[in-house]
Amino acid sequence: MGTTESKIEEDALLELDDYERDGEHILDVPRSWCRSLRVDRASVRRAHGLGDNGTLVRLFFRSRLEEFSEFAQPDGLVTRSTRFADDARLVVDSVTELYANRNDRLIRRVRLPRAGVNEEWFAPGRERDGVRMIRDVQGDRREVEFYKSGR
């Protein structure tokens, strides 16, 4: 019986050698039946209404919304919403900016120029101080709120 098993193994090795000599491999995948897909950046930006620098600006009644591609702005700005006090959009009432992927964990900044108030909101996890919000009233005071878990 030993000779029969060794003969079978030898025949299998010979078949495998013949298969490999033909240049074929066991895991060959057939070529794709469709052409490869190539999409250039300009057509994607046009389709989504983005400008050359990755921004999308929408104008509304007494407001403007600017959306930026993530990582396009060096300060991490993603969205800026500006509200105006007049129909001509000349007098700024408030500016709200949303941020992402910042080291200082800043997520939102609200500016009220007519009242002279600036607010900065931070995400949990600031290692140094655990600050939640800083409100700066120009020429009057500065208020700081902390997360309870920041102790």
Q: Is residue 12 part of a domain?
A: no
Containing structural domain, residue 128: 41-150
Task: Specify the pLDDT at position 69.
Answer: 81
The torsion region of residue 54 among left (phi > 0), alpha (psi -120 to 50) and beta comes to left
Q: Whole-number mean pLDDT of the chain?
A: 82
Q: Is residue 91 part of a domain?
A: yes
Tens-place pLDDT, residues 8-40: 666 665 555 555 555 555 667 777 888 888 888
Tokens describing residue 82: 């500006």
Q: Is residue 89 part of a domain?
A: yes
Q: How many domains does the chain have?
A: 1
Task: Specify the pLDDT at position 99.
Answer: 96
Instruction: Provide the residue type at 123 as one letter.
Output: A
Instruction: Provide the residue type at 131 as one letter.
Output: V
Task: Specify the pLDDT at position 23.
Answer: 57
Q: Is residue 22 part of a domain?
A: no
The DSSP symbol for 149 reads G
Q: Is residue 126 part of a domain?
A: yes
Model pTM score = 0.66
Q: Is residue 117 part of a domain?
A: yes
**Cα–Cα distance, 151 to 136 (Å, whole number):** 23
Q: Is residue 17 part of a domain?
A: no
Tens-place pLDDT, residues 23-82: 555 667 777 888 888 888 777 766 666 666 678 888 999 999 999 888 878 899 999 999
Q: Is residue 59 part of a domain?
A: yes
Task: Specify the pLDDT at position 83.
Answer: 97
Task: Specify the pLDDT at position 150.
Answer: 65
